[in-house]
Structure formats: structure tokens, C-alpha cells
């Protein structure tokens, strides 16, 4: 065979990717200073501003060929990246469902990257840290310690894992070898308010979107179990195989929590897997005052939750929990010779996390969760979560008190849907008015909210998963919406 690298003498150099340690230390300190300054003075900047054309042009440049000083790279970052952030760290960001991050979480990501372990497995502390974090998250949702779990990229992957295990359970493990070829279609059920990630999951799992039933909801946007039962009966009569019921612990539109206890009973009676999408609301179980809303979640066969939303862990980290640990493991476990686990050496230690999900190589996501939960503790987290729910209720009150604003859905948790509604006006006009109002508000850089559609109605939507928001920010939001609405009407 021809030699790939013929000039061995030249190629056997000592060049590597390390910096000069003294200048790296100086630069690192500058980065920490810049990061702290940025967060400490965040309010002086717009919540959001669009990257201007010259920035986008520089961010389209081709691959750099020659080295450049790290100081220059950092200067590029400060000029072209940092100012055009999303704004989740700002007290007036209430768009979609976004957490605000924590400072210790940011430090943790730096430390995790410094250690640079691959947390797929091995006898290393990061694996134990992940298992400890998983035990804490199980404790939060009321799961036993023996349950299975895995940190994943977010709620989407957590839902995917839950449904994959459900499919595996239903086919008694034959799905891995045979696929679904010998099966009549498997059918899953969620309310019409279920999240798009669940559709993606059934699509990728080969179940088919058509077999993910959308069950009608009641006036509080909660799943109707009588309708669910009718659908299941019809599907059974048609020769299909219902296998999974999905409950929402906080819907993305309105924050509605399905009657999880009733759903757990129902799934049990029907012999169906019960999965809870807790991407938004599962961690509200930290609060003794909110816990009653979530009763029944702890009976789920699997739960998907997000740490980068209401736990404010820096992006990205979510968590899949499965009551039957062995079932989760047998869904994903695959050990070729090069991954065999010996009894001694670095390869020993606890079970490998990679046996519980899709990823083999995995980052040290657990450290930021571990440090943040240790620094702040469950009780403070609970208070901050309760504060957000109170802020949603306060916004509801301000809307009800305003003759020009109209609430469009009951406030179940931390999400408020409303619109500017000056006087009698057609649906079409109200939609156009509120769409324009939303864009002007976003472009003002004063606050970010997002939108959705409820029935036929276009809704402004504020989601309180922000630990920096204060009462006066909620008041300012109402002032801004009223002012822009007046200018437009």
C-alpha cells in the first residue's frame, strides 16, 4: 500500500491546538469579565435586535485557512455575535417557551468543556454526576430511584425516547429485529393541543402521523377522556392497535394540564402505555402549591421533561424518564465488541448512559444541572417558578381590567393568550391588527412575546419561564401593547 503520509520526518512535529498558557489566562479573564458585564447590564440593551446586513455578510465568509490571534476571534464574537442574541437572558423575554439560563450553568459549561469527557460511559465522575442529576429529576417528578433515565438534547428527544420505549414494549421487543412489518398500525393519542415534537416522534418511529390521533379538548384546553375512549373503541373496531396515550403537563398554546390522574387510570384500564409530555410543566412539581395540578404524572410509564425551559439550565438539556429501567435499556442497548464493559479499568463502572438512548458520544450536560440545582436548591427554584405563575395571573388581571385587551384562554399555569381588541371589529381586522402589533413590539426591542392561533383567533402569547422578570416588567408589557395598539387602531 502506498504511504498516506510519505514525509514522516516533517509530519512528526509537535504542533498542537493549545494556546500560550499566560495569554490564554488573560483572555479567559477578559471573557469572564465581558460575560458578567453583559448579564449585569442586560437591561440597558434591547431584548432583541436583528443582525444587520454587514454582520450577516461577515458570518457568511468562507473557512479561515490561516491562524489568527484568539484575541481577534474574541473581538469578532463581541462585534458580530454577542449583540444579536435572542434575549432569553433579558427580563422582558416571554416568547415561545424559553428558559433564562443561570450564571453558574454558564460557568459549568466552561468547566465541562474544559474536562471534555464523553459521557457515553466509563468509570468517570461525570457519569456518576449524570446519574445523580437523574435521581434528582426523578425525585422532582415523583418517580422511584429505580426508574430509568437519560439526559437528552431537549423535550423533543425526550418524547421520542418515551414513545420508542412504548413501541418496544407493545411489540414485546420484536420491533428491533422485525420493524413493524408484522403489526397492524399502532395508534397513539394526544389532545389536539399536543406538541409538534410528538408528531415528529411518531413519524420517525415509523408509526405514521395519521396514527397519532388528536383528541378534542374541553373549554380549558384539557383532553376529553370521553372523546378519547370513543376514538380508541373506533380504532379497535377497525382492527388497529391502540398502544399509547400521551398526557400534557403544560400545553404549548395555553399551559393547560390534562387530567393526568384520570388519564393514568384510563390508560391502566385500557392496557395502554402512558407518556407525559412535561417539557413545560413537569418541573412545576417542585412547588408544593402547584403540585396538586400535576397529580398522576408520577404514574406515567414515561415522562419527557426539559431542563432548559423552566429549570433555566443553559441550552441544551432535557431529560427522558422511563419507569421500567430495563425496558428503556432493552430498547436501545447494543454492545458491539469494541464497547464491551470490562470489570476493571476505565471501561468498568456503572452502566453506560449510552445504553439508554440514541447517542453514543454524549456531552457533559449534567454538570450545569448539578451545579445549578446545588447552588439554588429545590426551594428557591420552587419560589421562582411560583413567581412566574403569579406573574401570569397578574397579567391576566391587568388584561381583564383593560377595556382594550381581551383574554383569549383561561390561564392554567404560566402562559397568557390575549389580544388587543379596541371595539367591534371583524376577526380578519383583529388578526391583522394584532399581527402588526406583535411585530412592532418585537422590533421596538422593549419586550419579546410570540403568538399562536386558538380556534380561529390570532392570539398574542406571553410565556413566563423567566427568572429575571419583575412585576414592573409585566406592567410595562401591558403599557407597550396598549400604546402600540392605540397607534395602530
Ligand X SMILES: *Cc1c(COP(=O)(O)O)cnc(C)c1O
The residues of the shown chain that bind ligand X, judged by CB under 6 A, are 97, 154-156, 159, 195, 197, 252, 277, 279-280, 306, 318
The nearer residue to ligand X, 195 or 468, going by C-beta atoms, is 195
Please say whether the dihedral angle defined by the alpha carbons of residues 260, 263, 269 and 274, taken in this order, is positive or negative: negative
Q: Report the distance separating Cα 84 and Cα 77, nearest Å.
A: 10
Q: In what order do the strands lie in the sheet with 457-463?
A: 405-407, 415-420, 457-463, 450-454
Q: How far is the CB of 100 from ligand X (least distance, A)?
A: 15
Q: How far is the CB of 129 from ligand X (least distance, A)?
A: 21
Q: How far is the CB of 284 from ligand X (least distance, A)?
A: 13
Best CA proximity match to 306, nearest among 291, 293, 317: 317
413 Rama sector, left if φ>0, alpha if ψ -120 to 50, beta otherwise: alpha
Cross-strand pairs, 453: 458
DSSP of 336-358: -GGG---SSSTT-SSPPGGGGSS
The nearer residue to ligand X, 367 or 415, going by C-beta atoms, is 415
151 backbone dihedrals φ, ψ, rounded to 5°:
-80, 135
Strand, helix or coil at 319? strand
Q: Report the distance separating Cα 227 and Cα 239, nearest Å.
A: 19
The nearer residue to ligand X, 398 or 459, going by C-beta atoms, is 459
Q: How far is the CB of 97 from ligand X (least distance, A)?
A: 4
The nearer residue to ligand X, 105 or 154, going by C-beta atoms, is 154
The nearer residue to ligand X, 175 or 193, going by C-beta atoms, is 193
Pair 152, 176: CB distance under 8 Å:
no
Q: How far is the CB of 196 from ligand X (least distance, A)?
A: 8
The nearer residue to ligand X, 156 or 285, going by C-beta atoms, is 156
Q: How far is the CB of 282 from ligand X (least distance, A)?
A: 10
Best CA proximity match to 333, nearest among 307, 360, 311, 313: 360
Q: Report the distance separating Cα 303 and Cα 121, nearest Å.
A: 23
Kind of pairing between the strands at 415-420 and 457-463: antiparallel
Please state the separation of Cα 97 from the chain's center in Å.
8
Q: How far is the CB of 409 from ligand X (least distance, A)?
A: 15
Q: How far is the CB of 395 from ligand X (least distance, A)?
A: 19
What's the number of CA atoms in the CB half-sphere (13 Å) around residue 391?
Answer: 28
Q: How far is the CB of 252 from ligand X (least distance, A)?
A: 4
The nearer residue to ligand X, 280 or 384, going by C-beta atoms, is 280
The nearer residue to ligand X, 45 or 200, going by C-beta atoms, is 200
The nearer residue to ligand X, 199 or 444, going by C-beta atoms, is 199
Q: How far is the CB of 159 from ligand X (least distance, A)?
A: 6
The nearer residue to ligand X, 281 or 485, going by C-beta atoms, is 281
Please state the separation of Cα 220 from the chain's center in Å.
23
Q: How far is the CB of 366 from ligand X (least distance, A)?
A: 16
Q: Report the distance separating Cα 235 and Cα 41, nearest Å.
A: 57
Q: Report the distance separating Cα 252 and Cα 248, nearest Å.
A: 9
Quickly count: other Cβ atoms within 10 Å of residue 45's Cβ. Answer: 16
The nearer residue to ligand X, 46 or 194, going by C-beta atoms, is 194
Environment class of 192 (CB within 10 Å of its CB; exposed 0-12, middle 13-18, buried 19+): middle
The nearer residue to ligand X, 298 or 306, going by C-beta atoms, is 306
Structure-block grid coordinates of residue 444 = 421596538
Quickly count: other Cβ atoms within 10 Å of residue 488's Cβ. Answer: 14
Best CA proximity match to 275, nearest among 305, 247, 242, 296: 247
Q: How far is the CB of 424 from ligand X (least distance, A)?
A: 35
Amino acid at each position: 500500500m502506498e504511504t498516506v503520509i510519505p514525509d514522516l520526518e516533517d509530519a512528526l512535529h509537535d504542533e498542537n491546538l493549545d494556546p500560550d498558557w499566560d495569554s490564554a489566562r488573560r483572555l479567559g479573564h477578559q471573557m469572564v469579565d465581558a460575560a458578567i458585564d453583559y448579564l449585569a447590564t442586560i437591561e440597558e440593551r434591547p431584548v432583541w435586535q436583528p443582525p444587520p446586513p454587514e454582520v450577516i455578510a461577515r458570518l457568511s465568509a468562507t473557512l479561515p485557512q490561516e491562524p489568527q490571534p484568539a484575541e481577534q476571534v474574541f473581538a469578532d464574537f463581541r462585534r458580530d455575535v454577542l449583540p444579536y442574541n435572542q434575549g432569553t437572558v433579558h427580563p422582558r423575554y416571554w416568547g415561545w417557551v424559553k428558559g433564562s439560563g443561570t450564571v453558574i450553568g454558564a460557568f459549568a459549561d466552561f468547566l465541562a468543556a474544559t474536562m471534555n469527557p464523553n459521557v457515553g460511559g466509563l468509570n468517570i465522575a461525570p457519569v456518576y454526576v449524570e446519574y445523580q442529576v437523574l435521581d434528582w429529576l426523578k425525585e422532582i417528578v415523583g418517580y422511584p430511584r429505580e426508574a430509568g433515565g437519560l439526559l437528552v438534547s431537549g423535550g423533543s428527544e425526550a418524547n421520542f425516547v418515551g414513545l420508542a420505549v412504548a413501541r418496544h414494549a407493545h411489540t414485546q421487543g420484536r420491533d428491533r429485529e422485525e420493524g413493524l412489518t408484522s403489526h397492524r398500525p399502532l395508534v397513539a393519542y394526544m389532545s389536539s393541543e399536543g406538541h409538534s415534537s410528538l408528531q415528529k416522534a411518531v413519524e420517525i418511529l415509523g408509526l405514521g402521523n395519521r396514527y397519532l390521533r388528536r383528541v378534542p379538548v374541553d373549554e380549558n384546553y384539557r383532553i376529553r377522556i370521553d372523546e378519547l375512549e370513543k376514538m380508541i373503541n373506533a380504532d379497535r373496531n377497525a382492527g388497529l392497535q391502540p398502544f399509547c396515550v400521551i398526557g400534557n403537563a403544560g400545553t404549548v398554546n395555553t399551559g393547560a394540564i390534562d387530567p393526568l390522574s384520570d388519564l393514568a387510570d384510563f390508560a391502566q384500564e385500557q392496557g395502554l402505555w402512558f407518556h407525559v409530555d412535561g417539557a413545560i410543566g413537569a418541573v412545576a412539581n417542585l412547588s408544593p402549591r402547584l403540585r396538586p395540578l400535576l397529580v398522576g404524572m408520577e404514574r406515567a410509564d414515561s415522562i419527557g421533561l426539559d431542563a432548559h425551559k423552566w429549570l433555566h439550565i443553559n441550552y441544551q438539556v432535557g431529560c427522558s424518564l422511563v419507569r421500567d429501567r430495563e425496558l428503556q435499556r432493552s430498547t436501545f442497548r447494543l454492545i458491539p465488541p469494541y464497547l464491551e464493559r470490562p470489570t476493571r479499568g476505565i471501561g468498568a463502572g456503572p452502566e453506560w448512559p449510552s445504553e439508554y438512548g440514541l447517542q453514543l458520544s454524549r456531552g457533559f450536560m449534567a454538570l450545569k444541572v448539578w451545579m445549578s440545582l446545588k447552588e439554588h436548591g429545590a426551594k428557591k427554584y420552587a419560589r421562582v417558578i411560583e413567581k412566574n405563575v403569579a406573574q401570569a395571573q397578574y397579567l391576566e388581571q391587568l388584561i381583564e381590567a383593560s377595556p382594550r385587551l381581551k383574554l383569549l384562554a383561561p390561564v392554567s399555569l404560566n402562559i397568557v393568550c390575549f389580544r388587543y381588541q379596541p371595539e367591534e371589529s371583524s376577526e380578519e381586522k383583529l388578526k391583522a391588527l394584532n399581527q402588526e402589533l406583535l411585530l412592532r413590539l418585537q422590533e421596538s426591542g422593549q419586550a419579546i412575546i410570540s403568538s399562536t392561533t386558538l380556534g380561529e383567533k390570532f392570539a398574542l402569547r406571553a410565556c413566563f419561564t423567566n427568572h429575571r422578570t419583575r412585576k414592573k416588567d409585566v406592567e410595562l408589557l401591558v403599557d407597550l401593547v396598549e400604546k402600540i395598539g392605540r397607534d395602530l387602531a
